A and B are shown apart, each in its own frame.
Chain A
Amino acid sequence: MTDVIVASAGAAVPVERPAQRRATWYRNAPLIAGMTITGLLILVAVFAPLIAPYDPNKQNLAVSLVGPSAQHLLGTDQLGRDTFSRLVFGARVDLRVGFIAVLFPFVLGTFLGSIAGYFGGWIDIIVMRLVDTVVAFPFYVLVIALVFVLGTGERSIYIAITIVGWVSYARIIRGEILVAKQLDYVLAAQSGGLSSRRVIMRHVLPNVITQAIVYAMSDIVQDILAIVTLSYLGLGIAPPTADWGSMIAAGQDFLTTHWQLSTIPGLAVVLTGLGLSLLGDGLADLLRPGQR
C-alpha cells in the first residue's frame, strides 16, 4: 500500500534497472555461494585420484574401525578402507551419476511438454494422461520397482529416473508454451506472416528453457538423493564401489561406537544439496528480472 502512495506522489522515481543487471551477479549472494560450494565439490570429484591418499577399495583389516588419526583423516571402516578416500571417490560417483541422470528426463520432458503445449489436441491429452499415470505412483516406489525389474546398476538408475522424472519438465514446458501462445508478440508475428512455430522456436523456447534449467538444479539434488538412497537400500551402485549411500548403510551397524561412518557421508550429501540449491536460487534470481 505504501508503494502505491509513494509512487503516485513522486513524479521522478529514478529507474536504474538495466544498467544494474550486469553488476547484479556479483551481488547475488546465493549464486556466488552456490557456485563456490558446487565448484569445490566438482573439483574434489574430478581430482579424486590426486586428493585421496588411499585406494578407496583397498582393504586393510589390520586397521579396521580406526578413529580419525594422522594416517586416516576420517578413520577407517570395518574392512580397513580409508573413509576419507571413500568419501572423495564417492563424490565422484554420486555427482557424476547425479549430473548425468538429470539430462535424460530434461530432454524427454522438454520434448513431450513442447509437443503437448504446441500442438494441443490429442497429443496434449495423451501426454497429460501419461503424466497423471506416472504421478499416481510415489516417486521412490516406482523407481525402486523399476530398478528391481531392470536389475541394479547405473544403467537401471538412469532408466528409472528418466521414466519417473520427465513429468516435471513436461509440465513446466507445456505450461509456459501454452501461455506463450497467447502472447501478443506471437499473434503479431503470426499476422505478420511468420509461422507461429518459428516464433515459438526462436523466442519462446529460449525463455522457457531457463525455467526448466532452474528446475533442473533442484532436480539434480533430488537425483543425487535418489541415487544415494537406492545405494543405501542396496539397489543402487554395486559394492564395493565407494558411494555415499552404501557407506551410510555399512556404517549403520556401528552407530554406537563409530557414528562418524554413517554421519559424515550424509553431511557430504547435505553439503552438495546446499551448494546446488543455492546455485539454483541464485540462477533463478538472475534469470528472472526483466525476462517477463
Chain B
Amino acid sequence: MTALLEVEDLQVEIRNRRGAVHVVENVSFSVESGRAMGLVGESGSGKSMTLRAMMGLLPTEAHISEGRVLLNGEDLVTAPRRRLQQLRGPQIAMVFQEPMSALNPVMRVGEQIAEGPRVHLGLSRSQGADKALELMRRVGIPDPERRAFDYPHQFSGGMRQRVMIAIALSCEPRLILCDEPTTALDVTIQDQILRLLTGLCADTGTSLVFVTHDLPVVAEVCQTVAVMYAGRILESGGVTEVFRQPRHPYTLGLLRSAPDFAETREGLIPIPGAPPDPYAPPSGCVFHPRCAFATADCATQPMPLRQVTATRTTACIHDDRALESQKLLPVAQ
C-alpha cells in the first residue's frame, strides 16, 4: 500500500553572502492515510522549513535543491505553480503557529474561512458563508452567526487557532501540516485544541504531520514520530517505541531534558553544548560533538538513516548504547 505522503531525500538550501546552507538535509519519511506523524526537534532543527517546503511556501531566500515530495504519487516539488494552487486546500493544508499573524487582520473571519471553498469549489457568496458557519460549528466556535462578521483581533488566541483549523479543514484535505499549532497558546487551551484536531482528523480520516518541540504532545497525538536535528532526521519509528526505547543519543537527551517526561527524576538533564553552525556542520555524525557515546568513527563516517527494524530507523551507529542507557535510567512514560 503506497503511503499518502512520501518525502524522499528532501534538501532545502538557503543562499546568501555567507554561503549556502542546507537547512533541511536528506529528509525522508512517509505518512499513511489517516495517520498522524510527529516531527520533533529543537528550534532551528529545520522542522518548519520541512513543512513549508512541502507546501511550496518557502521564504524567498530558500529553495528546494533536491528531493521529492510525493502526495498521492504526485511530486509537489516539480509541480507547476497552477497545479500547486489547485492542490493546496483540497489536498493539502497547513495550520500555522501564530494565529494572530497568520490571519488577515482586515478581513472578516467568516470570509477568510470561506475563501478556500469559494476558490476551489466555486461556491457563491452565500454558499460560502453557510459553509463557513458549518465549519465554525465543527471547530467549536460559539455563536458563529455573529462571530463570522468579526475580525481576528476580536478573538482570543484559542479561538483564533480554531479559526485556523477551520480554514485548514475547509476544503477537506487529505493531509494537514501543523506547525507548532499549540505552542503559542495557554496550557489550558492547548489541550482543547489538540483534542479538537485529533478528533476531527479521526472523524474524517485526514493525515497529519505535526511539528513541535513538545514531546508529550507528540505522544498524545501521533502514531509515528521522526526526530530532527540540524536539518536531518536522526531517528524515526512508532511513537511509543521511540520514546520508550530511543535508538539515538539525541532522542535520549531530548527525553531526559523534557519537563513532562522527566517528572519521576530529581532533575532535568540538559544536553550539553549547542546546535551546530549551519554554515559549518560537523563532519560525520552531525550530533557527535555533543554526544556522550561518540567514538572516533562518529566524526569521520557518514551517518545515513538506516533501517533497524521494519518500523524503526536511526542514524546512530551506537544505537544499542542509547538503548542500554535508557534501560538503566528510564524515562517516565
Contact = CB atoms under 8 A, between A and B. Distances in A.
Find out whether A and B make contact in their complex, taking CB atoms under 8 A apart as touching. Answer: yes
Interface of A: 1-2, 5-13
A2 B59 contact: yes
A11 B59 contact: no
Most B-side CB within 10 Å, residue of A7, A11, A13: A11
B274 A11 contact: yes
B289 to A, nearest CB: 10
B23 A6 contact: yes
B14 A6 contact: yes
A11 B276 contact: yes
Nearest to A13: B277
B275 to A, nearest CB: 5
Contact of B275 (A1, A2, A9, A13): A9
Given A1-B59, A2-B59, A11 B14 contact: no
A9 B62 contact: no
A222 B59 CA distance: 40
Nearest to B43: A8
Interface in B17-33: 21, 23
B174 to A, nearest CB: 26
B277 A5 contact: no
A9 B230 contact: yes
Contacts of A11: 274-277
How many B residues are at the interface, by size bracket? 20 to 34
Contacts of A12: 277
B188 to A, nearest CB: 27
Given A1-B59, A2-B61, A9 B14 contact: no
B156 to A, nearest CB: 25
A1 B101 CA distance: 13
Given A2-B62, A8-B275, 15 more contacts: A1-B48, A1-B59, A2-B59, A5-B48, A6-B44, A6-B278, A8-B43, A9-B44, A9-B45, A9-B276, A10-B44, A10-B276, A10-B278, A10-B279, A11-B276
Contact of A8 (B14, B44, B49, B279): B44
B152 interface: no
A11 B48 CA distance: 19
B46 interface: yes
Contacts of A7: 44
Interface string B274-290: 11111100000000000
A11 to B, nearest CB: 4
Contacts of B230: 9
Contacts of A1: 48, 59
Interface string B45-58: 11011000000000
B254 to A, nearest CB: 16
A8 B275 CA distance: 8
Contacts of A6: 14, 21, 23, 44, 278
A1 to B, nearest CB: 5
A143 to B, nearest CB: 39
A151 B231 CA distance: 74
Most B-side CB within 10 Å, residue of A1, A2, A7, A9: A9
Contacts of B48: 1, 5
A7 B277 CA distance: 9
A2 to B, nearest CB: 5
Nearest to B52: A1
A7 B44 CA distance: 8
Contacts of B43: 5, 8-9
Contacts of A9: 23, 43-46, 230-231, 275-278
A13 B44 CA distance: 14
A85 B45 CA distance: 69
Interface in B67-90: none
A2 B14 contact: yes
5 contacts: A5-B23, A8-B44, A9-B276, A10-B279, A11-B274
Nearest to A1: B59
A5 B275 contact: no
Interface in B240-280: 274-279
A12 B279 CA distance: 10
A69 to B, nearest CB: 53
B238 to A, nearest CB: 28
A6 B281 CA distance: 12
B46 A10 contact: no
A10 B277 contact: yes
Most B-side CB within 10 Å, residue of A2, A5, A6, A8: A5
Contacts of B49: 5
A1 B49 CA distance: 10
What are the nearest 9 A-B pairs in CB distance? A9-B44, A8-B44, A11-B274, A10-B277, A8-B43, A9-B275, A2-B59, A5-B44, A9-B278
A13 B274 CA distance: 13
Nearest to A8: B44
A15 to B, nearest CB: 13
Contacts of B44: 5-10
A12 B43 CA distance: 16
